[in-house]
Amino acid sequence: MENKKENKFISFWKRIFKRADEIMFPANIKCLGCGVDLPEKREIEFCDVCKKKIEYISEDKCCSLCGTSLKQKNICPHCQNNKREFDEARSVCKYNDFMASLIAKFKYHNHPYMSLTFGHMISQKFKELKYDVDLIVPVPITKKRMKQRGFNQAELIAKVFAKNVNLPLCCEIIEKQTETSHQADLDYEERQKNILGTFKVVNKKEVAGKNVLVIDDVFTTGATTSACAEVLKKAKAKHVYVLSVASTSYFDQKKPSKKVVKVSDFAS
Ligand SMILES: [Zn+2]
Ligand SMILES: [Zn+2]
């Protein structure tokens, strides 16, 4: 009798959790870009028209260090003038108006299910890159931000990705302890200074001797991921790679580094 009661109790809660999951991640058969019905369920949920709005960054037309889009393979002025702590960073596509509106909807208007599409997008890119990775780590957000938003966008994307590529995911390795506000108004050096000390590796044992892949939604100046890489390297990570969904073009950034030299060869 007691057992029967217990089973009923468990199945009740299982139903509740399943329902909560369905609300968070509905079986979407609409295009994430324009809302048109899709003929079938797709991993990357875009119609044929919206698919064309994604500007993929190819390996032969990007900065070989930070992955920003360039006319041809080169080292972008940003990487020439600033120390990058990661070994290599890549992004799936350009952060154009289409991607900016999608990511804003995902992050600020509470659409966590969009992480499925973004996770599949970075999985495709990862298969092209063939990085030797031991561990996946999403860029953390502060506890305060987590409370406000309800989820960490990088963590949701990383979860889908880790499952796809069958690699271990560790969300409790780096902590972001303080908020870095108004990053968008700062140049790279100011961002670096602002972000310095906000990240802390709380589980050093997990990282030592490993190749770590850091996941983020948007790569802008790279100051955030470079700071993550810095603390990971201090914790003895062997290599640190970065993979993001979208990357702002070096030339789209409001206030690039003051040290910039020649840019004529690089505009994309
Ligand atoms: Zn569409
Ligand atoms: Zn670069």
How many whole angstroms from 98 Cα to the centroid of ligand 1? Answer: 11
* 267 lies in some domain: no
The Cα 231–Cα 198 span in angstroms is 10
**9-65 pLDDT, tens digit each:** 777 777 777 666 656 555 668 999 999 999 888 899 999 999 999 999 999 999 999
Q: Relative to the alpha carbon of 64, which ligand is closest?
A: 2
- pLDDT tens-place string over residues 202-244: 988 999 999 999 999 999 889 899 999 999 999 999 999 999 9
Tell me, yes or no, whether 101 lies in a domain. yes
Cα–ligand 2 centroid distance for 237 (angstroms) = 22
Residue 98 lies in a domain: yes
Residue 11 lies in a domain: no
Query: Do the domain assignments include residue 42?
Result: no
In the reported structure, the alpha carbon of residue 235 is separated from the centroid of ligand 1 by a whole-number distance in angstroms of 44
Distance from Cα 75 to the centre of ligand 2, integer Å: 5
Q: Using the Cα atoms of residue 121, residue 94, residue 214 and residue 209 in order, give the sign of their dihedral.
A: positive
Residue 240 lies in a domain: yes
Tokens for 119? 């996770």
pTM of the model: 0.83
How far does residue 91's CA lie from ligand 1's centre (Å)?
A: 22
Ligand 1 centroid, distance to 237 Cα (angstroms): 41
Report CA(216)–ligand 2 centroid distance (Å).
16
Closest listed residue to residue 60, CA positions, set 44, 76, 52, 71: 71
- Measured CA to CA in angstroms, residue 232 lies from 35, 57, 124 at distances of 40, 27, 25
Distance (angstroms) between ligand 1 centre and the Cα of 39 equals 12
Give 72-125 pLDDT, tens digit per residue: 999 999 899 988 999 999 999 999 999 999 999 998 888 999 999 999 999 999
Residue 250's Cβ-count burial label (10 Å; 0-12, 13-18, 19+) is buried
User: Domain tally for the chain?
Assistant: 1
Distance CA 33, CA 24 (A): 18
Inter-CA distances, 249 with 13, 23, 186, 210, 265, Å: 47, 35, 16, 30, 14
Tokens 């997990």 belong to which residue?
A: 206
- Asked, for residue 123, whether it belongs to a domain, the answer is yes
The range of the structural domain enclosing residue 75 comes to: 59-252
54 within a domain of the structure (yes/no) = no
Q: What CATH number does the domain containing 136 carry?
A: 3.40.50.2020
Judge whether residue 1 has pLDDT over 60.
no
SS3 2: helix
Q: Tell me the mean pLDDT in the region 250-266.
A: 43
Structure tokens at 36: 């048109």
Ligand with an atom nearest the CA of residue 62 = 2
CA 28 to ligand 1 center in whole angstroms: 13
The predicted-structure confidence for 61-77, as pLDDT tens digits, reads as follows 999 999 999 999 999 99
Residues near 212 by Cβ (< 8 Å), separated by ≥ 6?
133, 134, 135, 136, 137, 232, 237, 239, 240, 241
